[in-house]
Amino acid sequence: MPDGSVINGEVAIRSADRMRRAGADVVKLEVHSEAVIAIVERLTREGFRVMAHLGYTPQGGDGGRVGGSLDGAYALFASARQVRDAGAESIVLEKVDEFVHRALVDRPEALPSYAIFSGKSETGGQSLNIWDSVFKPGFRARYFPPTARETVDAFPMAYSAIAIAEHIGALLSLTAAGEFPLSPPTLLSIDDVVALASSDPWAD
């Protein structure tokens, strides 16, 4: 849901209802505060299917990667449990350390998950951005989709249906082959990784 669409419960209900009437199956909320978790709960009570976006949440002013320490990992796990208990049916993990991502989602009790710039996992999916598959960012980005070859000044000519199909098709192929995404080196120690592997992130 766009920035500003969940400033309170009433606005969130109206925003989600407009999206559902326009054909949305699920609404995705960036969860960056206890107030947003309360909105997740309210939306699910009203019959909306909710996907919770955890990790990097720019609408909340958070930046950088998440889970570079055990404390950061355990905080993310706590947020995942909170959104599950509030009724979210799935999660998106953005810019999360790959070991933390795997520890959270590669479990039978985990919510269905989709990763963005969070490496790979055995059971989780990937969220692939059509725009990012076509256009390069305005900064050096080692882990960005390798299919992005156009600069934004080529819009809209470079954003035709044919170009979109070519770029996202190539990115899907790379993802299916395990060649995308790459993941930045972890900041966790070996002991941290072992501790994560032996933890139960979905248990209170």
Q: 97 CB contacts (<8 Å, ≥6 apart)?
A: 65, 66, 67, 68, 72, 73, 118, 119, 186, 187, 188
Total residues belonging to the chain: 204
Alpha-carbon span 42 to 103, nearest angstrom: 29
Does residue 171 form part of some domain? yes
The CATH number of residue 72's host domain is 3.20.20.60
Q: Is 94 one of the catalytic residues?
A: yes
What does the pLDDT look like over 57-108, one tens digit per residue?
A: 988 877 788 999 999 999 999 999 999 999 999 999 999 999 999 999 999 9
Does residue 98 form part of some domain? yes
Please tell me whether the overall predicted TM-score, pTM, comes out greater than 0.75 for this model.
yes
Please state, in angstroms and as integers, the Cα–Cα distance from residue 183 to each residue in 94, 140, 141, 186, following that order.
12, 15, 12, 8
- Residue 181: CB atoms within 10 A of its CB come to 21
Domain count, the chain: 2
Check 94, 98, 122, 166 and give the catalytic one: 94
